[in-house]
Chain A
Amino acid sequence: DQQVKQNSPSLSVQEGRISILNCDYTNSMFDYFLWYKKYPAEGPTFLISISSIKDKNEDGRFTVFLNKSAKHLSLHIVPSQPGDSAVYFCAASAMGGSARQLTFGSGTQLTVLP
Chain B
Amino acid sequence: DVKVTQSSRYLVKRTGEKVFLECVQDMDHENMFWYRQDPGLGLRLIYFSYDVKMKEKGDIPEGYSVSREKKERFSLILESASTNQTSMYLCASSLGVAGGYTFGSGTRLTVV
Q: Do the two chains bind?
A: yes
B90–A43 touching, CB < 8 Å: yes
B103–A45 touching, CB < 8 Å: yes
Q: How far is the CB of A87 from chain B (nearest CB, A)?
A: 9
Chain A 10-37, CB-CB to B under 8 Å as 1, else 0, gives 0000000000000000000001101010
| Residue on B nearest A90 in the bound complex, by CB | B42
Report the separation of the CA atoms of residues A31 and B98 in the bound assembly, to the nearest whole angstrom: 10
Q: How far is the CB of A93 from chain B (nearest CB, A)?
A: 5
Partner of A46, one of B31, B90, B100: B100
Which residues of chain B come closer than 8 Å to A31, judged between CB atoms?
Answer: 98
A93–B106 touching, CB < 8 Å: no
Q: How far is the CB of A34 from chain B (nearest CB, A)?
A: 5
* CB of B85 within 8 Å of the partner chain: no
* CB of A41 within 8 Å of the partner chain: yes
* CB of A100 within 8 Å of the partner chain: yes
Which residues of chain A come closer than 8 Å to B98, judged between CB atoms?
Answer: 31-32, 49, 93, 95, 100
Instruction: Count contacts on A: residues with CB < 8 A to the other chain.
Output: 27
Within 8 A of B (CB), among A65-114: 89, 93, 95, 98-107
Report the separation of the CA atoms of residues A69 and B40 in the bound assembly, to the nearest whole angstrom: 27
A-B contact pairs, 20 of them (CB 8 A): A43-B4, A43-B103, A43-B104, A43-B105, A44-B43, A44-B90, A46-B101, A49-B99, A49-B100, A98-B54, A98-B56, A99-B49, A99-B50, A99-B56, A100-B31, A100-B97, A101-B45, A101-B48, A102-B101, A105-B42
